[in-house]
Structure 1
C-alpha cells in the first residue's frame, strides 16, 4: 500500500513540475508570448473570416466601457477615396459607442511606412470632438508597417499616461486593425505580446488583405475576430456587426483577476470560488477549505502509519488544488 501511494505521489509530482514549467507564467513573459503565438498557429486552420451580412441589432444595446484603439492602414494601396470610407466607418463606429471619460475612450493609430498616433485615449470624451478629429486624419502614403503600428499602439496608446484605465478597473482593451495589404514587417510576435498584455485584437481585411497575417494578428477564436470585406465600398456594413460584438463584451471575458469564477452583475463583477474552496481576503484568489482528514482506524494502532495516511491525504488535496488552478490558468491563455 505504501509503495503504491509513493508511486502515485511521485508521478503526480513530476506531472505538476512539468505543467508548472510550461504554464506558470506572468503576462508579458517571453514564454507567454510564445504560448500566445503557438495558440494562434493552432487556430489558423479554423474558418478565418466572415463575409458579412449583418442582421438588425438591438437599438437599445449599449456598449460596455472600453479603451478602444483603431489601427488603420493608409499605405499607397489605399486610394484617397477608399481612405475616406475608412474614416466614415470610424465615425459610424463612434456613433454606436457610449463615449465618455467613464465610458468608452477612443484613440486612432495611423500607419504606412511610418506610424502616427492621430489622437490618444485621453484627448476626446464626446462624439462631436472625436468625429472632427477623425475627419482631419490624412493618409501617410507609402509602406505597410503593420507590426510597428501594433507595437506603437501597445507601448504608447494603451498606457495609463495616454489615457488607458488601470488594470484594476477591469476595463476591456480592444484594438481594431483595418488593412488591405500584406505587412512588410513581422506581426506574429508583436501581436502575441499585445494579446498577452490583455489587448483583444480584431483584424479587418479588405480586398487584397493577406489572410494569414490577419490570422496571426487577431485574438482567438479567429472566427469571432477576423473579418473580411471585398471592397472599401462596403466596409460600413461592419458597423452593425461590431456594434453587436462590442455590446456583448463582458468584463469577465478578459482582464479580470478572479482565481476561479467571475460573476457579472451587469453593474460590476465579483469573484467566486468552486465548491471546496473559500475566497481569500483579496476577494480574488481561492484557497482549499481546511477539512479534517477521514482516517481509517488501524487495528494495530500504529501511530506512524496513521501519520503517514494523514500526510498523504493532505498532500494529495494540495496537489489537486494546484492542478485545478493550473487548468484555470491554461484556459485563460
Structure 2
C-alpha cells in the first residue's frame, strides 16, 4: 500500500512509504521539525559558531563568511580587510586619493580645487571667487587673498583702499632725527634736548645747564635730555643729586673707631667686626660673651611679607647667629617659621656650628600664607624650649631668649602664650616692621619694652635693629654670667669639710651674706691651688663645718670688689681644668 499516495500525509517536502505506514523527509539543507512533517533550513552558522568577523552565510550543506561592502575576505576565511582601491590600481590622482566602499575618488590639498577631469588640481583663485573689494589689485595667498597698492601708495587700515605715501615715507627727506609730513612737503624736527640747525635737517644738543636753574653745587653736565650734577675731586654727590659731600670722612678725620669706620653723609659711624658689638661710647668694640644661651627665632613667613623681604629677614637672622658662639656648651639656636601653620626649620639640638646653621637659614623656604602669630608662640612655648628639642634644663640657669619677627596684624590672639612664655623665664624680643601692630608687639615683648621692642617702618632699618638686638643679647648674657648654678635657696648652708684628696667647695652665699650682693656663685677649687690672698677672704671651717665670723665688714664696697677680683683670677686659672657649675 502506498501510504504516501494519500493526500493527507501532510509532509512539507517528501513522503517516504514504509511497509505499514510512511514518514516525512526534508530536502538537502533542511531538517525535520518536531511535528515530523514540516521542515526548517539548517542554521550552520548558529550551530558551528564559525567566528566570522562581519557576516556568516548559510548554504545547503554548510556556511561561509562574507565581508561588508568595501572589504575583502582574508585568506583565513573569517576576518576582513578594507579594500585599498588606491593601492590596487593606478588611480591617477595628482594630489590625494581617497578610498570609497567600491572604488576611490581624487581630492586636492587645502587651497586647491579638483579640475573637470576629477584627477588634477588647480590653485584656488580667491580673488576670482570672492568679492575682494580691493581698490587697486588683489593677490592670492595660500588660504585667502590680500590687497596691494601701486608704488607711491600705501594700504589703509581697512586693508582694501590705498592712500598716497607722504613725503617722509618716501625716505629721501634727509632729516637727522624725525620727519613730519605736511600736505605737499615735510619739515624736520629734533628729539627732546636738541634743536634744529640752520640747514633745517640736522640737529645739535641743547645746553640745558645754561638754559635752566640746575642747582648743582659743583659742576653741571648736559645729558641726553636733561643734565646731571657732578662733584669736584675728593667729593661725592649727595642723595639729592645736587649737593656734594667729602668722599672719605673716615680717612680725613681722627674717627677713633676701634674696628671699622664707615662714612655716613658728612660724618661717620663706627662698626665692629663679626662677633663684636659697639660699646656705649660708640667707638670701642666688645666681644659678646661666649656664655651659654638657648635662643629661638620665631619668624613671620606670611604672604604680606613678600619673598624679597623674606630674604632680608634671613640675612637678619644670619647676622644674629654670627654674633654668637655656636656650640653645644655655648649658644644653641632654633628657628620656627609661621604662616597659617607653624614649621620648625631647626631645633636647638640640630646644629653645632654657625656654618651649618646659616646654611639651613639660607635654604629656608618662604611659606607665604596667613599670619598665626599666637599659634607660633604656643608652639614655641610648648615645644621649642623642651629638653627633647635641645633646651637645657631650667636648673642650669641657661638664659632662654626668643626673638619674634612680624610685619603685620596677627590673625589670632598673642597675649596668652606671650604671657606664659615670659612668666616661665623666657626673655621675649619683639621685632615689628611695616604694618606690625604696636599693641601686639608690646604684649609679646618683655619688660622694659624700650629694650625688648624694636619697630621700623620698612626693611631698610633691619641692620640697625640687628645691631641693637646683638647688643641687647650680649648684655643679657653678661648679666647672666655666673648664674649658671643652682637656684637661690638650694645652696647648702654648711660647707662640707673635705678630705685631703677632695676639692674644696666655697659657697659665696655663705661667705658674703650681703643684701646688695645679688649674684650667687659656686666655684670648685682644689685646696692646693687657692691663692693665699683669696683664702684670707674666705671663711675657714671647723670640723663641724660651721663658718667662723670674720672681724672685718665683708659687705663694704671695697671688700666686695676685692673679693670679686680675686675670685675671677682663680676662675681664669682653673677654667681649663675644672667644671664650672
Q: After the TM superposition, which residues 250-329 of structure 1 pair with which residues of structure 2 at under 5 Å, given as runs? A: 250-251=479-480, 257-259=487-489, 271=509, 273-274=513-514
More strand by share: 2
The alignment partner of 1:171 has SS state of coil
CA distance in 1, matches of 2:395, 2:401: 16
The alignment partner of 1:154 has SS state of helix
**Superposition deviation, residue 232 in structure 1:** 1.7
CA distance in 1, matches of 2:463, 2:378: 26
CA distance in 2, matches of 1:232, 1:168: 39
**Superposition deviation, residue 60 in structure 1:** 3.5
Partner of 1:73: 300
The alignment partner of 1:151 has SS state of helix
Tell me if 1:174 matches 2:401. yes
Considering Cα pairs closer than 8 Å and 6+ residues apart, tell me whether 1 or 2 has the greater RCO.
1
Partner of 1:186: 413
- In the TM superposition, structure 1's runs of 4+ consecutive aligned residues that sit over 4 Å from their partners are 252-256, 269-275
Partner of 2:436: 209
**Superposition deviation, residue 233 in structure 1:** 2.8
Q: Which runs of 5+ in 1 are unaligned?
A: 1-53, 262-268, 276-281, 284-333
Tell me if 1:62 matches 2:291. no
**Superposition deviation, residue 140 in structure 1:** 1.2
Q: Which runs of 5+ in 2 are unaligned?
A: 1-268, 272-277, 280-284, 492-506, 516-521, 524-581
Q: After the TM superposition, which residues 1-333 of structure 1 pair with which residues of structure 2 at under 5 Å, given as runs? A: 56=271, 57-58=278-279, 59-63=285-289, 64-249=291-476, 250-251=479-480, 257-259=487-489, 271=509, 273-274=513-514
Give deviations 1:138-167, integer Å, cap 9, x for gaps. 121111100110110111111011000111
Partner of 2:115: none
**Superposition deviation, residue 259 in structure 1:** 4.9
Distance change in 2, residues 1:270/1:217 (3 Å):
farther
More helix by share: 1
Conserved? CA contact 1:82–1:233, under 8 Å: no
**Superposition deviation, residue 254 in structure 1:** 8.7
**Superposition deviation, residue 240 in structure 1:** 1.4
Conserved? CA contact 2:301–2:366, under 8 Å: yes
CA distance in 1, matches of 2:483, 2:424: 11
Give deviations 1:227-251, integer Å, cap 9, x for gaps. 0112123212222112211111122
The alignment partner of 2:368 has SS state of coil
Give deviations 1:272-309, integer Å, cap 9, x for gaps. 6446xxxxxx99xxxxxxxxxxxxxxxxxxxxxxxxxx
Conserved? CA contact 2:306–2:368, under 8 Å: no
Q: How many residues align?
A: 217
CA distance in 1, matches of 2:367, 2:513: 51
CA distance in 1, matches of 2:320, 2:432: 17
**Superposition deviation, residue 257 in structure 1:** 2.6
**Superposition deviation, residue 136 in structure 1:** 1.0
**Superposition deviation, residue 252 in structure 1:** 6.9
Partner of 1:317: none
The alignment partner of 1:78 has SS state of coil
Conserved? CA contact 1:88–1:236, under 8 Å: no
**Superposition deviation, residue 134 in structure 1:** 0.2
Conserved? CA contact 1:66–1:103, under 8 Å: yes
The alignment partner of 1:82 has SS state of helix
CA distance in 1, matches of 2:286, 2:467: 13
Conserved? CA contact 1:172–1:254, under 8 Å: no
The TM-score, its normalising length taken from structure 2, stands at 0.35
The alignment partner of 2:287 has SS state of coil
Which one has the largest radius of gyration? 2
Conserved? CA contact 1:67–1:171, under 8 Å: yes
Conserved? CA contact 2:339–2:372, under 8 Å: yes
The alignment partner of 2:480 has SS state of coil
CA distance in 2, matches of 1:222, 1:87: 24
CA distance in 2, matches of 1:92, 1:184: 29
Distance change in 2, residues 1:130/1:222 (3 Å):
same
